Structure 1
């Protein structure tokens, strides 16, 4: 059974869902920012873990200041607030995409809250040898949003995806025009792409981390970050099945890979 609750943190009401029993496992969403993306994955993991996922501030059911740009440090503090609201001091953490970046921020500045972090395809392009190229690409996608709107911008953004059929990318682009899209493109997109993780600090903190990328994501900028994160933090690199959002479109094998990584 899914239970819904909320916690107030720094001017926002953060709404979260939880189910299952066992050690606490926090799932952090990337772009689009809500718990619904983890619904199928959470159900598969709930026999072994108390699984909690939440709508990030200003997304879906959670409130917040829609006029402010995303602050990665604040996002990490929101995650801490959810962990504490569940009555725990620490949790296993899984983050995909921007959620993985938030997980890295947690590991850098709130290491005591993490039992183990699984960072899946963090889009931290600043650590790539061709990071400047990809930042220019993302700046262009944002310019497209300003000039032509969300549909055109998502089309540009999703052209960087690897491991999807062209028709699937078109469908994803259409499906991702949600009530959260405007906030994502206007207030989250650039802060996410410009985020620089403090990998040396994470290593010094001694946080247990697994850096992961999907087998179908090979060559994608967001997957090429994973082995670099592993090397610089001194943690394992693990290949997961599927593409960037395999936890949504093929959750069973993804859930098994996540179980193995958590163990």
Structure 2
């Protein structure tokens, strides 16, 4: 059974869902920012964990100041607030895409809140040798949003995805036009792409973590970042099944590898 609760923190009401029993496992969403993306994955993990997923501030059911750009440090504090609202001091954490970036910020600034972190395909292109190229690409996608709107911008953005058929890219571009899309593109997109994780601090903190990328994501910038994170923090690298959103499209094999990584 899914229970919905909320916590008030830093001017926002953060709404979260939780189910299952066992040690707490916090799922952090990427672009689009809501708990619904984790519904199928959470159901598969609820037999072993108390699974908690939440709508990030200003997304879906959660409130906040929509005139402010995403602040990665605040996003990490929101994650801590949800963990504490559940009555825990620490949790296992899984983050995909921007959720992985938030997980890295959590590991840098709030290591005491993490039992173990699984960071799946963080879009931290600044750590890549060709990071400038990818930042220029993302700046162009944002310019497309300003000039042509969210549908055109998402099409440009999704053209960077690897491991998807072209028809699938067109479909997910359409499906990802949600009530959160304009906020994502106007207030979250560039701060996410410009985020520089403090990998040296994470390594010094000694956080238990696994950096991961999908088997179908080979060559994608967000998969290459996962390998650099592993190298620079000294943590294990794990290959997960599927592509960037396999936890949505094919959650059963994804959940199995996630269980193994959490152990």
Shorter chain as denominator, the TM-score bin is: over 0.9
1:244 is matched with 244
Give the TM-score normalised by structure 2.
1.00
| 5+ long unaligned stretches in structure 2 | none
2:217 is matched with 217
2:9 is matched with 9
2:92 is matched with 92
1:169 is matched with 169
Measured in 2, the distance between the counterparts of 1:209 and 1:147 equals: 40
Deviations 1:108-128 (A, max 9, x none): 000000000000000000000
Deviations 1:181-228 (A, max 9, x none): 000000000000000000000000000010000000000000000110
1:36 is matched with 36
1:144 is matched with 144
1:75 is matched with 75
Query: Cα offset for 1:240?
Result: 0.2
Say which SS state the counterpart of residue 93 (structure 1) adopts.
Answer: strand
Query: Cα offset for 1:88?
Result: 0.1
Deviations 1:156-181 (A, max 9, x none): 00000000000000000000000000
Say which SS state the counterpart of residue 213 (structure 2) adopts.
Answer: strand
- In the alignment of these two chains, the number of paired residues is 263
Say which SS state the counterpart of residue 67 (structure 2) adopts.
Answer: coil
2:158 is matched with 158
Measured in 1, the distance between the counterparts of 2:224 and 2:112 equals: 28
Query: Cα offset for 1:89?
Result: 0.1
Say which SS state the counterpart of residue 39 (structure 1) adopts.
Answer: helix
Measured in 2, the distance between the counterparts of 1:247 and 1:134 equals: 25
Measured in 1, the distance between the counterparts of 2:106 and 2:226 equals: 17
2:52 is matched with 52
Measured in 1, the distance between the counterparts of 2:208 and 2:200 equals: 14
Query: Cα offset for 1:142?
Result: 0.1
Deviations 1:69-93 (A, max 9, x none): 0000000000000000000000000
1:120 is matched with 120
Query: Cα offset for 1:145?
Result: 0.2
Query: Cα offset for 1:243?
Result: 0.1
Moved over 4 A (4+): none
2:64 is matched with 64
| 5+ long unaligned stretches in structure 1 | none
